[in-house]
């Protein structure tokens, strides 16, 4: 049996530009890639967390406070993330995925700062 460096679905803390932020492993590259020989992973996470909303706030104020800003961190596919259209589409998909998780109440710890 082969051990997996970082299995997909695991929550990790990130170093570097997004230091200290929580992220979710999407894909793990255990053997490395053609351009690097070490193990690394593609992760998505929350750059700006949703703020607390109460019942006394109006609907519009609640939706504004529940917005979040995602990030994607990887060193694998630099070409795809350097093209603005592809990066914007990827961030939009990630945001929808994370907002759905936040609305369902899964992984509450992940959405706390």
Residue 19: give its domain's CATH number. 2.30.30.770
Judge whether 74 lies within some domain.
yes
Minimum mean pLDDT range among 8-22, 25-39, 96-110: 25-39
Cβ 64 vs Cβ 53: under 8 Å: no
Write out pLDDT tens, residues 51-95: 888 999 999 999 898 888 888 877 445 566 677 888 888 888 888
For residue 93, the enclosing domain spans: 11-111
Judge whether 3 lies within some domain.
no
53 contact partners, CB below 8 Å, separation of at least 6: 61, 62, 65, 66
Predicted TM-score (pTM) of this structure = 0.65
Provide the token pair at 10.
Answer: 């695991």
Alpha helices in the chain (DSSP H): 59-65, 78-82, 84-104
pLDDT at 99 over 70: yes
Q: What is the pLDDT of residue 75?
A: 47
Judge whether 4 lies within some domain.
no
Provide the token pair at 72.
Answer: 């994607």
Judge whether 97 lies within some domain.
yes
End-to-end CA distance of the chain: 36
Q: What is the pLDDT of residue 60?
A: 93
Total domains present in the chain:
1
Judge whether 6 lies within some domain.
no
Provide the token pair at 61.
Answer: 């104020």
Judge whether 5 lies within some domain.
no
Judge whether 54 lies within some domain.
yes
């Amino acid at each position: 049996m082969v051990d997996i460096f970082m299995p997909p679905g695991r929550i990790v803390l990130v170093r570097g530009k997004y230091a200290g932020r929580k992220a979710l492993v999407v894909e793990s590259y255990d053997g490395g890639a053609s351009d690097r020989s070490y193990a690394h992973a593609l992760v998505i996470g929350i750059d700006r967390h949703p703020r607390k909303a109460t019942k006394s706030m109006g609907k519009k104020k609640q939706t504004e406070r529940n917005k979040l800003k995602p990030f994607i961190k990887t060193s694998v596919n630099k070409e795809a993330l350097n093209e603005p259209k592809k990066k914007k589409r990827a961030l939009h998909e990630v945001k929808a995925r994370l907002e759905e998780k936040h609305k369902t109440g899964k992984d509450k710890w992940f959405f706390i700062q």
